[in-house]
Structures are given as C-alpha cells and as structure tokens.
C-alpha cells in the first residue's frame, strides 16, 4: 500500500474526528456566516507529487477552500429554491458515503440496497398522499427527473404512432403542450432530441396567474384532431408558485389521449400540509411526476425522484434498458434501477431521505412547509406595505416575487439586488415577471425564523437609503 494511504488508514479515527469538529463549527456559525463572498482562489494550483495525507489536506481546505463557502444551507439564503440539510439528512448522507454501495444493486449484483430505495419511495408516497400505482427512483435533481419522465413520455408517444423511438430514433415532430414550463423542462426537450422550441405554448389564466388556461388547453387539444400529445404541467412555478388545475386536467384525461407530466419539484410538498394540499388535488391521475428532495425536504444536494405509473413500466425499461449487459438478466423480472433511469452506477441517494422521513415524520414536514409559508407571508406583508417595494404577484405559497415600487425604478432593480446581496445577510435572485424586472425570495430552509425575516427587512431598508431609491 502507498505509505500515505497506509498512514491515513491508521489515522482514520482522527481524520473523521477533525472533519466532524470542522463541520460542527460551521453548522454552529451558519446564522452568522455571510450569504455571499468576494473571496476567490487561483484555480491553476499545481498538483503535488507526493500526497499530503488527509489531515494536511484538511488544513489546506480550511485555509483555501472553506472561505469560498457561503451560508447557502443557512436561514437567509432565499435565492433560487434552496433547501438546507437537517441533522438527520446529514447523518444519512455521511453513512451513504461510509457504506458506499452502488445503489443499482439487486441480489444479482451482490447487494440489496435497491430495497432501501424502494422503501424510501414508498414512504415518500405516504408523505405526499399518492397511490402505490407509482414506481419511483432517485436521480440528481428535478432536471434529471423531468428528463427521466419525459423520456418515457417520448417512448409512449412513439408507441402511440407505432414507432419504437428508443430503438430507432425519433421520427417526426412530437406534440408537446405546456403553459409556464420550468426552464429545465425546455432543456430536457433539447436533450431528448425533441427540440427546445418544439412545444405549443398554452395561455395562462387571465389576471396575475401562471397556471394553464384550461379552455385554451382544450382548444389546442381539439386542434390536434385526436393525435397523441404530452402535457407538461406545473405544481409550483418558480416566480409565483402557481399550480395548474389538476382536477380539470384529470377530467380532460378521461376524454383525450395524452401523457400527463407534472413538474412538482418543490410544490409537491404542499401535500404535506392540510392547509395547502388542495393545491395538488387530482395530481394522482398524472402519468409521471417530478419532485426534488434537495428543496423542501431539506436534504443535501443531488437528491430528487421521479414517479412514473407502474402501467408504463415496459416503456420505461425500453427507454433506459442497459441492453449491452445481458448478464443483468431480465430487466422486469430481475429488478435493477439501471434499467429504469439514466445513470448506471450511483450513490445511495435514498438514505438521507430515509433518515429524514424517520427522524421527522409527517408532522415534521408539515411543520417545515407551514413555517416556510408563514415566513413568506411575513415578508409579503412587508413588501405590500412598504412604500419602496411592490409585489409582482400574490404570494400563493413560499415564493415572494416583488420589485422596487414604480416603473421609474425598473433600471435600479438589479443594482439594488446586487447591493443587497453583497452585504451577505441575505441572498435573493433576479427574475423577470410579466415583462417587469423583479426579485424572488423563496422560503424553503427549515431554519428560517421570524427574526431572520426581520433582519432582512432592516437590511433592505438600509439599502434603499444608501442607494437613494425613491
């Protein structure tokens, strides 16, 4: 064995103790660590000939890399739709690394870690009150979940016309209908060879809404004269957290032949709360659903899952079968995740989720969701009442979409946001909503409390004065 590796093997307890202590120090300070940084590194540093050993590498990490880390998992990072990591999810994530199984594994490959993933999906279905007619698995994020679901939808579309797209490639255009798709779904259309421009944009509901207009949808369906199509719908748009009407879409599904996909990356968690579960009423009738765990479930990054109805299992295997590896056996008889999703080898992403579900239960996630919405409404009340700001959309759930008051301030929105973000007390992201420049604050992190919102309000008022915004 290489002598440095030998030394590390002997030091393993000490190494993990040191890393644990560093982690505890970070987590204990997460409230005060800035949400943005100007720190940087020279990324061309040479690789050393001889290993430093893990303890010395940790010292270098602390000096050079740790200063690049902002409090993105902390309570005032409101950019994008960003969760944090709960204690249970960290525990599960650490053990995932320690055990390091290849999560495809079925008996044929020597392990049975797929059972952990299947059990976790079954628990998630219970959390979200969805039927067991969905089969699911873990991928890196909602983008890859959308990809997985839409790839099966693509295969379904081909089959409806008598083609096997997985085997022979796509022939002809596909019919894709959608109203306010997330950018990642559009990216998936590019990745799937469908084409990012090749969808029909359905109107959104009149007024300040991002939800699909059902009458316009039905008119567009009629225009297809009975041809099959794929509907991409939204449970939670990123600007205003709007939801399509899933009861109305369920009724259309009884009349017309289509694949119904729902991007519920964060909005799906509305199902955890009796107050907000009505937003997803009817979603159980979809063919496929995308949900992110690294958002509202507050587990570390690279954790999302897809749900596809079991009746489409054959289409899914046709799409993802790793057909050059016959030793894996019949993909349906001898279940292995590598025949159901894009990746072959993967880590056991289910374990941090499994830990979280056991540790906090239904009540824990109900409380996280309801607290996030309460914080969003607290912030919404400030925006609505302060003379320097105005709401761009009503706050329907956990996202507040706003701008500087008045059209005369439109050119100042981005510089205001940069000024605010540079202070490091909060981080929000820019957006454009109904042709106006705006700012989004998304409440997802389990730690965020009333005092965090009050602190941000104070910093925003200071920024308005500093920039002399009127």
Q: Minimum distance between the CB of residue 210 and ligand PLP, rounded to whole angstroms? A: 11
- Give whichever of 373 and 469 is closer to ligand PLP, judged by the CB atom: 373
Evaluate whether 163 touches 366 at the Cβ level (below 8 Å).
Answer: no
* Token pair in block for residue 1: 């064995």
Alpha-carbon distance of 203 to 201, in angstroms, equals 7
Stretch of residues binding ligand PLP (CB under 6 A), selected from 141-149, 368-376, 382-390, 453-461: 141-149
> What Å distances lie between residue 439 and 80, 175, 177, 405, CA to CA?
10, 33, 28, 12
Q: Minimum distance between the CB of residue 138 and ligand PLP, rounded to whole angstroms? A: 12
Q: Minimum distance between the CB of residue 291 and ligand PLP, rounded to whole angstroms? A: 10
- Give whichever of 241 and 417 is closer to ligand PLP, judged by the CB atom: 241
Size of the site for ligand PLP (CB under 6 A): 13
Does residue number 154 form part of the binding site for ligand PLP (CB under 6 A)? no
Does residue number 143 form part of the binding site for ligand PLP (CB under 6 A)? yes
Q: Among residues 96, 155, 184, 239, which is the contact residue for ligand PLP, using CB under 6 A?
A: 184
Q: Among residues 265, 272, 297, 441, which is the contact residue for ligand PLP, using CB under 6 A?
A: 265
β 134-139/304-309 pair status: antiparallel
Order across the sheet with 429-433: list the strands. Answer: 389-391, 399-404, 436-442, 429-433
Phi, psi of 289 (to 5 degrees): -140, 140
Q: Minimum distance between the CB of residue 64 and ligand PLP, rounded to whole angstroms? A: 27
| HEC assignment per residue over 6-64 | HHHHHHHHHHHHHHHHHHHHHHHCCCCCCCCCCCCCCCCCCCCCCCCCHHHHHHHHHHH
Q: Among residues 138, 147, 229, 266, which is the contact residue for ligand PLP, using CB under 6 A?
A: 266
- Give whichever of 263 and 452 is closer to ligand PLP, judged by the CB atom: 263
Phi, psi of 291 (to 5 degrees): -140, 135
- Give whichever of 181 and 228 is closer to ligand PLP, judged by the CB atom: 181
Evaluate whether 113 touches 105 at the Cβ level (below 8 Å).
Answer: yes
Residues 6 or more apart in contact with residue 94 via CB below 8 angstroms:
none
Does residue number 142 form part of the binding site for ligand PLP (CB under 6 A)? yes
Q: Minimum distance between the CB of residue 267 and ligand PLP, rounded to whole angstroms? A: 7
Partners of 262 in the beta sheet?
A: 233, 289
- Give whichever of 106 and 233 is closer to ligand PLP, judged by the CB atom: 233
Does residue number 401 form part of the binding site for ligand PLP (CB under 6 A)? no
- Give whichever of 92 and 141 is closer to ligand PLP, judged by the CB atom: 141
Q: Minimum distance between the CB of residue 3 and ligand PLP, rounded to whole angstroms? A: 41
Q: Among residues 76, 123, 154, 182, which is the contact residue for ligand PLP, using CB under 6 A?
A: 182
Does residue number 238 form part of the binding site for ligand PLP (CB under 6 A)? yes
- Give whichever of 221 and 231 is closer to ligand PLP, judged by the CB atom: 231
Pattern 286-325, ligand PLP, x by CB under 6 A: ------x-----------x---------------------
Residue located via tokens 């994008």: 80
- Give whichever of 149 and 357 is closer to ligand PLP, judged by the CB atom: 149
Pattern 62-101, ligand PLP, x by CB under 6 A: -------------------x--------------------
* Token pair in block for residue 71: 């409090």
Residue located via tokens 């050993």: 53
Alpha-carbon distance of 314 to 67, in angstroms, equals 49
* Token pair in block for residue 328: 């894996």
- Give whichever of 200 and 429 is closer to ligand PLP, judged by the CB atom: 429
Residue located via tokens 């016309």: 161
- Give whichever of 137 and 228 is closer to ligand PLP, judged by the CB atom: 137
> What Å distances lie between residue 349 and 93, 115, 365, 402, CA to CA?
8, 12, 19, 35
Stretch of residues binding ligand PLP (CB under 6 A), selected from 49-57, 137-145, 273-281, 360-368: 137-145
Q: Minimum distance between the CB of residue 116 and ligand PLP, rounded to whole angstroms? A: 22
Does residue number 343 form part of the binding site for ligand PLP (CB under 6 A)? no
Does residue number 124 form part of the binding site for ligand PLP (CB under 6 A)? no
* Token pair in block for residue 405: 């008051």
Q: Could you give the angle at the alpha carbon of 242 between the alpha carbons of 365 and 426, nearest 5°?
A: 65
Q: Minimum distance between the CB of residue 118 and ligand PLP, rounded to whole angstroms? A: 22
Alpha-carbon distance of 252 to 322, in angstroms, equals 35
CB atoms within 10 A of CB 274: 9
Binding site for ligand PLP (CB under 6 A): 81, 141-143, 182, 184, 236, 238, 263, 265-266, 292, 304
């Amino acid at each position: 064995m290489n002598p440095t590796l030998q030394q590390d093997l002997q030091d393993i307890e000490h190494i993990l103790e040191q890393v644990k202590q560093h982690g505890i120090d970070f987590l204990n300070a997460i409230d005060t660590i800035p949400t943005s940084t100007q720190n940087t590194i020279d990324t061309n540093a040479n690789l050393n000939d001889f290993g430093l050993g893990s303890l010395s590498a940790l010292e270098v990490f602390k000096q050079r890399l740790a200063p690049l880390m902002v409090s993105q998992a902390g309570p005032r990072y409101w950019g994008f739709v960003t969760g944090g990591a709960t204690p249970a999810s960290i525990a599960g994530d650490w053990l995932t690394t320690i055990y390091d199984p290849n999560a495809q594994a079925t008996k044929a490959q020597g392990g049975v870690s797929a059972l952990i993933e299947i059990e976790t999906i079954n628990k998630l279905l219970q959390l979200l009150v969805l039927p067991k007619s969905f089969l699911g698995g873990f991928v890196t994020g909602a983008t890859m979940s959308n990809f997985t679901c839409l790839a099966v939808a693509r295969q379904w579309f081909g089959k409806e016309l008598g083609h096997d797209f997985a085997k022979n490639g796509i022939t002809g255009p596909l019919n894709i209908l959608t109203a306010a798709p997330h950018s990642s779904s559009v990216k998936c259309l590019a990745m799937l060879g469908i084409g990012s421009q090749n969808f029909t944009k359905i109107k959104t509901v009149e007024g300040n809404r991002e939800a699909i207009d059902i009458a316009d949808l039905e008119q567009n369906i009629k225009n297809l004269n009975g041809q099959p199509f794929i509907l991409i719908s939204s449970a939670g748009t990123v600007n205003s957290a709007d939801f399509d009407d899933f009861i109305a879409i369920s009724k259309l599904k009884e009349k017309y032949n289509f694949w119904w996909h729902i991007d519920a990356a964060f909005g799906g968690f509305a199902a955890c709360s009796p107050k907000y579960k009505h937003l997803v009423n009817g979603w159980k009738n979809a063919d496929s659903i995308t949900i992110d765990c690294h958002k509202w479930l507050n587990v570390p990054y690279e954790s999302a899952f897809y749900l596809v109805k079991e009746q489409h299992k054959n289409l899914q295997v046709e799409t993802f079968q790793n057909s050059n590896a016959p030793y894996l056996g019949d993909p349906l008889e001898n279940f292995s995740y590598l025949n159901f999703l894009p990746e072959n080898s993967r880590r056991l992403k289910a374990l941090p989720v499994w830990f979280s579900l056991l540790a906090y239960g239904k009540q824990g996630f109900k409380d996280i969701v309801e607290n996030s919405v309460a914080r969003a409404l607290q912030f919404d009340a400030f925006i609505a009442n302060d003379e320097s700001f105005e709401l761009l959309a009503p706050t329907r759930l956990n996202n507040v979409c706003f701008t500087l008051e008045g059209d005369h301030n439109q050119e100042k929105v981005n510089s205001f946001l940069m000024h605010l973000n540079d202070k490091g007390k909060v981080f929000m992201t820019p957006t454009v909503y109904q042709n106006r420049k705006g700012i989004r604050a998304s409440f997802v992190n389990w730690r965020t409390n009333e005092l965090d919102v009050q602190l941000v309000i104070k910093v925003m008022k200071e920024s308005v004065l500093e920039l002399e915004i009127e």
